[in-house]
Amino acid sequence: MACINRTTFKGTASLTADDSQVPGACQACTAGCTVAGTYPSSPCQPAQDLVCSACSTSCNAGYYQTAQCTLQADLQCAACVVNCSSGWYHGNSQACDGTTRTDVVLAGCVACKGPGTCQAGVSYMPDGQCPGTTSTDASCVACTQGVTCPAGFFVTGCNRSNTDFHCQAFTACPLGVQYLYGFGAAQDGVCRPCSPTCDSRGLRLISLCGRYADLVCGGQTCTAIRLCDMSLGSQLYCQYFNATNGYCLPCPVRPVLRCVLSSSL
């Protein structure tokens, strides 16, 4: 009769008087290990009973102990982390030799200092100093002084950040729709909408709205007619622009037949 796996196993064979071997009968499996310091290393099978072995006393190097040996299972182990996470360093890490009950590598990881520990305008903290593989903290580096930028750029960086002083382009506002306001050698500006046209406000256009300045309007827009109606008074209709005070002045009273357009004066 075949024995039932994990339930019965074949007992020891016996010899008859004529030295012939008689197969052993199926016997009930041992229920479990009962001696402290042992665990079931091999389950009961049709060919053999449950096997109990001595517990492991430590894990392999590079592992730590997660659960101690019991009558049901051997010592449990898990791999220690190889490196700390990015932004951390091995400040207090110990050797993971298999005898500890915690991941001593992970437990020894210390958070690196951030750029906020640097002095604005004096030092900055470059990226990549704390990849998680080093045993030293991040440190601040002196900023480059005396950086000047070409037109269209401003100086930025070295402000408790991870960048040195460097040039950065001004914000590009939609030309003819907005212009850059409040910019400087060491700061960017903000986009503001261009003012309404000068004509719509009864003013004279001096310069259009550009990238860095709003449109500029002068004094009043002067009114002129080509043919003067002297019966109505030329002063009411013929005007010219006075550049001194920026206002329109009436044409002199004189019997003229044609007034000159202000744009040509």
Residues 201, 217: contact at Cβ < 8 Å? yes
141-148: average pLDDT: 95
CB 247 within 8 A of CB 234: no
Q: Establish if 117 belongs to a structural domain.
A: no
48 shares a domain with 80: no
- Could you read off the pLDDT of 192-217 as tens digits, one per residue? 999 998 877 777 788 899 999 999 88
Residue scoring higher pLDDT (44 or 250): 44
pTM confidence score: 0.53
How far is the C-alpha of 90 from the C-alpha of 264, rounded, in Å? Answer: 81
CA Rg, the chain, in Å?
A: 47
Distance CA 41, CA 54 (A): 9
Is the distance from CB of 78 to CB of 64 less than 8 angstroms? yes
Query: Is residue 234's pLDDT more than 60?
Result: no
pLDDT(167) > 70: yes
Whether 93 is in a domain gets the answer yes
Render the burial of 73-104: b for 16+ CB within 10 Å, e for the rest. ebbebeebbebbeeebbbeebeebebebeebb
What is the per-residue pLDDT for 34?
93
The predicted pLDDT at position 19 comes to: 54
Q: Which pLDDT score, from 0 to 100, does residue 156 have?
A: 95
For residue 22, the model assigns a pLDDT of 52
Let me know whether 247 and 212 are in one domain. no
Q: Are residues 188 and 216 in the same domain?
A: yes
Residue 129 placed within a domain: no
Pair 72, 106 in one domain: yes
Q: Is residue 146 part of a domain?
A: no
Residue 161 lies in a domain: no
Q: Is residue 204 part of a domain?
A: yes
According to DSSP, residue 104 is labeled: H
For the chain, give the percent of residues with pLDDT over 70. 77
The verdict on 245 and 205 lying in the same domain is no
Does 207 reside within a domain? yes
Token pair in block for residue 131: 């990849």
Residue 88 pLDDT > 80, yes or no?
Answer: yes
When pLDDT is cut at 50, 70 and 90, the band that residue 255 belongs to is very low
Taking the C-alpha atoms of residue 250 and residue 235, their distance in angstroms, rounded to an integer, is 5
- 28 CB contacts (<8 Å, ≥6 apart)? 7, 8
Q: Measure the CA–CA gap between 158 and 115, rounded to whole angstroms.
A: 10
Identify the residue with better confidence: 4 or 227: 4
Tell me the residue range of the domain where 13 lies: 8-54
Question: Around 189, how many Cα atoms within 13 Å sit in the side-chain half-sphere?
Answer: 19
Kindly state the tokens that stand for 241: 């622009």
- Same structural domain for residues 74 and 92? yes
In a domain, 228, yes or no: no
The tokens for 163 are: 């960048």
Q: How many domains does the chain contain in total?
A: 4
Same domain for 215 and 195? Answer: yes
Residue 236 pLDDT > 60? no
Sign of CA dihedral 92, 93, 94, 99: positive
CB-based contact 44:7 (threshold 8 Å): yes
Which residue is listed with tokens 């091995």?
90
Q: Are 105 and 82 in contact (CB under 8 A)?
A: yes
